[in-house]
Every structure is written in C-alpha cells, then in structure tokens.
Structure 1
Amino acid sequence: MSTTSADVEKLNEEFYSSIESGDLDKMTELWAEDQPGRVAMCVHPGWPMLTGRGEVLRSWALIMANTPYIQFVLTDVRTTVLGDVAVVTCAENILTAADSEDATFAAGRVVATNTFVRTSAGWKLWFHHGSPVLQGDDDEESEE
C-alpha cells in the first residue's frame, strides 16, 4: 500500500472515530471547504442528498446530538487513489444504543463510499454516501 493510500485510510478511520466520540470539531476539520465547482456532499441512509459544507456539518451535528452511543467496525475496506482524488469503500457494521434507561442495542450494516480530495491543507473528505444493507430472515436461511 502506498503512503498516500495509508494516509487516506487513516483519515477515513478518523472520520468514523469522530462520529463515535461525537467530536463535531474533528468532523469539521475533516471536511473540505466548498469551492466553485466542488462542494461537500453527503447521503445518510434514508436521507436526501445534502449539498454544501454547512448543510453537511449541520446533519452531523444533529446525528451526534441524538445518538447516545454508536460504534463502527469497518470491513471490506478498499482504497483507490487517482491523482488528487481518493475513494474508500467499506462496510460499516454498526452497533447503536437507544436513548433509554434499559440500554437497548441495535445492529445494522451500511455500505459506504467516502471520497477524499487533496487540498493545500492535505486530504479532506469531499463526499460521503451510505446505503443500508437490508437483512431479513431470508438472508439467514440462504446462508445455511
């Protein structure tokens, strides 16, 4: 793996770490500034496309404020670097807790694409897209 790929994967891990810790300052630091012809974009599972750094960061602030616990285990991580653009695809295996006294946990799986752009300030997140993987009883039966 090239140093650039390793750097981008480290940044990708920092992205998920900022969500887990509810660190909006770190999240803000990770996202690229909007420029003419290149604006930040984000698609959370089940949400419409969010466009513009301000709108994207507001969405993360809302998610962080309403998520008492979240943990990501990333699998199937693949990184491609082409010049000043890098794409990381992965599966987000997510464990969350409900905001209640009985600490109910839920698990889910999302496939994600995180696109980074090289800027004068280093690699920055430009686009995040997460799509849920629907799992049901049929999935369990087909694995047996």
Structure 2
Amino acid sequence: MERVAEANAEFYQAIENGDIDLMQRVWAREDQAPDLVCVNPGWPLLRGRAEIMRAWSLVMANVPYIQYVLTETHIGVGTEVAMVTCEENVLTADEDTPGFIANGQVVTTNLFISTEQGWRLWSHHASPVLLDEEER
C-alpha cells in the first residue's frame, strides 16, 4: 500500500512542479496497461499516452501555480491493480490575481497497475463536486 501511495503522490508532485519527465514516469506505457485514459474536469476524455502527455504539457505550461491538498484518501490494492480515491482541494494562482484562488473540490479515482518498474498510473478520473449555496 505504501508504494501505491508514493506513486499517487508522485502524480501530484509532477503537476505541482510542472515536471513532465516525472509525469511520463508516473504513467504506464501502453504495452503495460491497455487503453490509458485521463479525465480532468471540463476536458474531453483523453485516450492514449501521447494524447495524455500532450494535455499535461499544456496544463503545466499554462498554470503558473497549482497545489493539491488531498483529503479522504483511500487505497485499495489487489495483486496487479490498485485504486486510490481522494478529494482534491485545489489552490491555484495566476499572474494577474494576487494571492491564491481556491478552485474548489474535485473527487478523483486513480487506477494503478503493477509493472516491473513499480506502480504506474493507468487511469485518472477527476470530477468536480457541486457545492450548494451554504457550502460555498
């Protein structure tokens, strides 16, 4: 379970640090996991390693600052597949707005597959949580 938690943490570190090389190491290769998929809030479904890496490159090039505070993290580990569910509490900043912008909460499922190189991301699915007026 610890190795899965580390792989999950590396995924978020790659985004926060704008590290595309780490992002490439985090994701499985297509010969290791069929049909890699990534769903980010507001984006169309991304399918295949090339499309996923291209999208993360765009995110990293266009978001000056992003930080994830993960809560409600649960990890389930099978023989060859592991699942991490969590709430992403996202903070961002841009060059035009001083301070931080709280972008809200996202629920996420990350599926990992066991490879010779360790646990690698197979699927990332993130969906926004719609808060009612009192919660905002």
With normalisation by structure 2, the TM-score equals 0.93
Deviation at 1:123?
Answer: 1.0
Which ranges of structure 1 fall in alignment gaps of 5 or more residues?
none
Q: Identify the residue that residue 28 of structure 2 maps to in structure 1.
A: 32
Q: Which has the higher helix share?
A: 1
Deviation at 1:39?
Answer: 2.4
Q: Does 1:72 align with 2:61?
A: no
Which ranges of structure 2 fall in alignment gaps of 5 or more residues?
none
Larger RCO of the pair (alpha carbons < 8 Å, separation 6+):
2
Q: Identify the residue that residue 52 of structure 1 maps to in structure 2.
A: 48
Q: Which has the higher strand share?
A: 2
SS in 2 for 1:137: coil
Q: Identify the residue that residue 113 of structure 2 maps to in structure 1.
A: 117
Structure number with larger C-alpha Rg: 1
Measured on the aligned residues, the alpha-carbon RMSD in Å equals 1.5
Quick check: 1:33–1:39 contact (8 Å CA) kept in 2?
A: no
Q: What count of residue pairs does the alignment treat as equivalent? A: 135
Identity of aligned residues (%): 49
Aligned with 1:130 (options 123, 126, 129): 126
Paired with 1:7 and 1:86, the residues of 2 have a C-alpha distance of 10
Paired with 1:37 and 1:25, the residues of 2 have a C-alpha distance of 19
Quick check: 1:78–1:89 contact (8 Å CA) kept in 2?
A: yes
Which portions of structure 1, spanning 4 or more consecutive aligned residues, are displaced by more than 3 angstroms?
none
Paired with 1:92 and 1:71, the residues of 2 have a C-alpha distance of 9
Paired with 1:75 and 1:36, the residues of 2 have a C-alpha distance of 29
Going from structure 1 to structure 2, the CA distance change for 1:42 and 1:137 (only over 3 Å counts) comes to same
Q: Identify the residue that residue 87 of structure 1 maps to in structure 2.
A: 83
Deviation at 1:36?
Answer: 8.3
Going from structure 1 to structure 2, the CA distance change for 1:37 and 1:29 (only over 3 Å counts) comes to closer
Amino acid at match of 2:54: R
Deviation at 1:76?
Answer: 0.3
Quick check: 2:70–2:88 contact (8 Å CA) kept in 1?
A: yes
